[in-house]
Structure 1
Amino acid sequence: MNKALSNIGLAMRAGKLVTGDEIVLKAVRVSEAKLVILAKDASVNTQKKFRDKCGFYNIPLLIGFDRESLGNSVGKAERVVLAVTDQGFAQMILKHAGIMSEVEYIE
Protein backbone atom coordinates (compact mmCIF):
# COMPACT_ATOMS: atom_id res chain seq x y z
CA MET A 1 0.00 0.00 0.00
CA ASN A 2 1.11 3.53 -0.75
CA LYS A 3 2.94 5.30 2.11
CA ALA A 4 0.74 8.39 1.77
CA LEU A 5 -2.38 6.25 2.24
CA SER A 6 -1.00 4.64 5.37
CA ASN A 7 -0.20 8.12 6.71
CA ILE A 8 -3.81 9.13 6.02
CA GLY A 9 -4.87 6.11 8.09
CA LEU A 10 -2.52 7.18 10.89
CA ALA A 11 -3.97 10.71 10.85
CA MET A 12 -7.46 9.21 11.07
CA ARG A 13 -6.56 7.07 14.07
CA ALA A 14 -4.92 10.09 15.73
CA GLY A 15 -8.15 12.04 15.30
CA LYS A 16 -6.48 14.55 12.97
CA LEU A 17 -8.68 13.92 9.96
CA VAL A 18 -12.20 14.95 9.03
CA THR A 19 -14.21 13.43 6.23
CA GLY A 20 -17.34 14.33 4.33
CA ASP A 21 -18.28 17.25 2.12
CA GLU A 22 -19.81 19.65 4.63
CA ILE A 23 -17.41 18.89 7.49
CA VAL A 24 -14.39 19.39 5.23
CA LEU A 25 -15.80 22.66 3.87
CA LYS A 26 -16.33 23.89 7.42
CA ALA A 27 -12.74 22.92 8.35
CA VAL A 28 -11.51 24.87 5.31
CA ARG A 29 -13.60 27.94 6.19
CA VAL A 30 -12.28 28.13 9.76
CA SER A 31 -8.71 27.39 8.54
CA GLU A 32 -8.62 24.17 10.55
CA ALA A 33 -7.74 22.13 7.46
CA LYS A 34 -4.00 21.99 6.72
CA LEU A 35 -4.45 19.80 3.65
CA VAL A 36 -7.51 18.74 1.66
CA ILE A 37 -7.34 15.39 -0.14
CA LEU A 38 -9.77 14.89 -3.00
CA ALA A 39 -10.36 11.64 -4.87
CA LYS A 40 -9.30 11.85 -8.50
CA ASP A 41 -12.64 10.27 -9.46
CA ALA A 42 -14.69 12.96 -7.70
CA SER A 43 -17.28 14.68 -9.87
CA VAL A 44 -16.28 17.77 -11.85
CA ASN A 45 -18.56 19.92 -9.67
CA THR A 46 -17.00 18.58 -6.47
CA GLN A 47 -13.49 19.15 -7.83
CA LYS A 48 -14.37 22.72 -8.77
CA LYS A 49 -15.98 23.42 -5.39
CA PHE A 50 -12.91 22.28 -3.45
CA ARG A 51 -10.44 23.89 -5.87
CA ASP A 52 -12.24 27.21 -5.41
CA LYS A 53 -12.55 26.94 -1.62
CA CYS A 54 -8.98 25.76 -1.06
CA GLY A 55 -7.71 28.47 -3.41
CA PHE A 56 -9.66 31.18 -1.61
CA TYR A 57 -8.53 30.06 1.85
CA ASN A 58 -4.98 29.19 0.72
CA ILE A 59 -5.09 25.53 1.73
CA PRO A 60 -3.09 22.94 -0.23
CA LEU A 61 -5.27 20.59 -2.25
CA LEU A 62 -4.08 17.11 -3.14
CA ILE A 63 -5.96 15.37 -5.93
CA GLY A 64 -5.04 11.73 -6.23
CA PHE A 65 -6.05 8.19 -5.31
CA ASP A 66 -9.56 6.97 -6.02
CA ARG A 67 -12.49 7.07 -3.62
CA GLU A 68 -12.07 3.38 -2.81
CA SER A 69 -8.40 3.75 -1.75
CA LEU A 70 -9.23 6.81 0.36
CA GLY A 71 -12.07 4.93 2.06
CA ASN A 72 -9.90 1.87 2.69
CA SER A 73 -7.11 4.00 4.16
CA VAL A 74 -9.45 5.36 6.85
CA GLY A 75 -11.31 2.09 7.40
CA LYS A 76 -14.62 3.30 5.98
CA ALA A 77 -16.63 2.99 2.80
CA GLU A 78 -15.65 5.08 -0.22
CA ARG A 79 -14.52 8.62 0.62
CA VAL A 80 -14.35 11.46 -1.87
CA VAL A 81 -12.89 14.20 0.30
CA LEU A 82 -10.79 14.32 3.49
CA ALA A 83 -9.16 17.15 5.40
CA VAL A 84 -6.05 16.75 7.54
CA THR A 85 -6.19 19.06 10.55
CA ASP A 86 -2.59 18.60 11.72
CA GLN A 87 0.36 20.28 10.00
CA GLY A 88 2.75 17.41 10.75
CA PHE A 89 0.49 14.79 9.19
CA ALA A 90 -0.25 17.10 6.26
CA GLN A 91 3.47 17.47 5.48
CA MET A 92 4.10 13.76 5.91
CA ILE A 93 1.26 12.88 3.50
CA LEU A 94 2.36 15.48 0.94
CA LYS A 95 5.94 14.24 1.07
CA HIS A 96 4.86 10.73 0.06
CA ALA A 97 2.02 11.69 -2.26
CA GLY A 98 3.75 14.35 -4.33
CA ILE A 99 5.30 11.71 -6.51
CA MET A 100 2.08 10.37 -7.97
CA SER A 101 -0.56 13.05 -7.55
CA GLU A 102 -1.46 16.54 -8.48
CA VAL A 103 -0.85 19.00 -5.66
CA GLU A 104 -1.99 22.56 -5.91
CA TYR A 105 -0.54 25.38 -3.89
CA ILE A 106 -2.41 28.51 -4.63
CA GLU A 107 -0.37 31.57 -3.71
Structure 2
Amino acid sequence: MNRLLSTISLTKRAGKLLMGFDQVKDAVLKGEAEIVLTASDLSEKSRKGMDLICEAENIESFTLPISMDEFAYEIGKRTGIIAVTDPGLAGKLRTMLSRETEK
Protein backbone atom coordinates (compact mmCIF):
# COMPACT_ATOMS: atom_id res chain seq x y z
CA MET A 1 0.00 0.00 0.00
CA ASN A 2 2.96 2.34 0.60
CA ARG A 3 3.99 2.01 -3.06
CA LEU A 4 0.43 2.79 -4.11
CA LEU A 5 0.36 5.97 -2.00
CA SER A 6 3.82 6.94 -3.24
CA THR A 7 2.71 6.58 -6.86
CA ILE A 8 -0.39 8.68 -6.19
CA SER A 9 1.82 11.33 -4.59
CA LEU A 10 4.17 11.23 -7.59
CA THR A 11 1.16 11.64 -9.90
CA LYS A 12 0.14 14.79 -8.02
CA ARG A 13 3.66 16.23 -8.20
CA ALA A 14 3.64 15.56 -11.95
CA GLY A 15 0.41 17.56 -12.28
CA LYS A 16 -1.52 14.53 -13.58
CA LEU A 17 -3.92 14.07 -10.66
CA LEU A 18 -7.44 15.47 -10.43
CA MET A 19 -9.28 15.58 -7.12
CA GLY A 20 -12.92 15.80 -6.12
CA PHE A 21 -16.19 14.56 -7.60
CA ASP A 22 -16.90 17.48 -9.95
CA GLN A 23 -13.38 17.79 -11.35
CA VAL A 24 -13.10 14.02 -11.88
CA LYS A 25 -16.58 13.79 -13.42
CA ASP A 26 -15.72 16.54 -15.93
CA ALA A 27 -12.45 14.79 -16.85
CA VAL A 28 -14.20 11.45 -17.34
CA LEU A 29 -16.86 13.01 -19.54
CA LYS A 30 -14.22 14.82 -21.63
CA GLY A 31 -12.17 11.63 -22.02
CA GLU A 32 -9.20 13.04 -20.09
CA ALA A 33 -9.22 10.58 -17.16
CA GLU A 34 -7.31 7.33 -17.58
CA ILE A 35 -8.33 5.76 -14.27
CA VAL A 36 -10.54 6.78 -11.33
CA LEU A 37 -9.72 5.82 -7.75
CA THR A 38 -12.00 6.15 -4.74
CA ALA A 39 -11.30 6.04 -1.02
CA SER A 40 -12.55 3.18 1.12
CA ASP A 41 -14.65 5.51 3.29
CA LEU A 42 -16.32 7.43 0.44
CA SER A 43 -20.10 7.67 0.80
CA GLU A 44 -22.09 5.00 -1.03
CA LYS A 45 -24.03 7.66 -2.95
CA SER A 46 -20.85 9.29 -4.30
CA ARG A 47 -19.29 5.92 -5.13
CA LYS A 48 -22.35 4.74 -7.04
CA GLY A 49 -22.61 8.04 -8.91
CA MET A 50 -18.97 7.93 -9.98
CA ASP A 51 -19.18 4.23 -10.88
CA LEU A 52 -22.15 4.93 -13.18
CA ILE A 53 -20.31 7.78 -14.92
CA CYS A 54 -17.16 5.68 -15.33
CA GLU A 55 -19.11 2.72 -16.65
CA ALA A 56 -20.94 4.89 -19.19
CA GLU A 57 -17.63 6.32 -20.44
CA ASN A 58 -15.73 3.00 -20.24
CA ILE A 59 -13.19 4.24 -17.66
CA GLU A 60 -11.80 1.87 -15.04
CA SER A 61 -12.72 2.68 -11.45
CA PHE A 62 -11.19 1.13 -8.33
CA THR A 63 -11.95 1.45 -4.65
CA LEU A 64 -8.68 1.56 -2.74
CA PRO A 65 -7.95 0.31 0.78
CA ILE A 66 -7.06 3.93 1.57
CA SER A 67 -9.14 6.39 3.57
CA MET A 68 -9.83 10.03 2.74
CA ASP A 69 -7.53 11.02 5.61
CA GLU A 70 -4.70 8.99 4.07
CA PHE A 71 -5.34 10.74 0.74
CA ALA A 72 -5.17 14.06 2.58
CA TYR A 73 -1.83 13.16 4.13
CA GLU A 74 -0.32 12.12 0.77
CA ILE A 75 -1.78 14.69 -1.62
CA GLY A 76 -2.62 17.60 0.64
CA LYS A 77 -6.38 17.57 0.14
CA ARG A 78 -9.03 15.50 1.87
CA THR A 79 -10.96 13.91 -0.96
CA GLY A 80 -12.57 10.60 -1.69
CA ILE A 81 -12.30 10.60 -5.49
CA ILE A 82 -9.21 11.10 -7.64
CA ALA A 83 -8.42 10.58 -11.32
CA VAL A 84 -5.11 10.07 -13.10
CA THR A 85 -4.75 11.72 -16.50
CA ASP A 86 -1.38 10.27 -17.53
CA PRO A 87 -1.55 6.89 -19.36
CA GLY A 88 1.82 5.70 -18.04
CA LEU A 89 1.09 6.46 -14.41
CA ALA A 90 -2.41 5.01 -14.75
CA GLY A 91 -0.90 1.81 -16.14
CA LYS A 92 1.52 1.60 -13.24
CA LEU A 93 -1.36 1.98 -10.77
CA ARG A 94 -3.41 -0.69 -12.62
CA THR A 95 -0.48 -3.11 -12.33
CA MET A 96 -0.11 -2.40 -8.62
CA LEU A 97 -3.84 -2.84 -8.04
CA SER A 98 -3.96 -6.13 -9.94
CA ARG A 99 -1.08 -7.43 -7.80
CA GLU A 100 -2.92 -6.36 -4.64
CA THR A 101 -6.05 -8.26 -5.64
CA GLU A 102 -4.03 -11.38 -6.50
CA LYS A 103 -2.67 -11.64 -2.94
Return the TM-score normalized by structure 1. 0.86
Displacement after TM superposition at 1:88 (Å): 0.5
> Would you tell me which structure has more helix in proportion to its own residues?
2
What percentage of residue pairs aligned between the two structures are identical? 31
Report if the CA contact (8 A) 2:21-2:50 is conserved: no
Structure 1 ranges of 4+ moved more than 6 A: none
Matches of 1:72 and 1:89, distance apart in 2: 20
Matches of 1:53 and 1:71, distance apart in 2: 24
Matched, 1:70 2:71: yes
Matches of 2:97 and 2:5, distance apart in 1: 8
CA RMSD of aligned residues (A): 1.4
In the TM superposition, 1:9-88 aligns within 5 A as: 9-64=9-64, 65-74=66-75, 76-88=76-88
Matched pairs, number: 100
Match of 2:6 in 1: 6
Unmatched 5+ residue regions in structure 2? none
Report if the CA contact (8 A) 2:24-2:33 is conserved: yes
The secondary structure found in structure 1 opposite 2:7 is helix
Unmatched 5+ residue regions in structure 1? 102-107
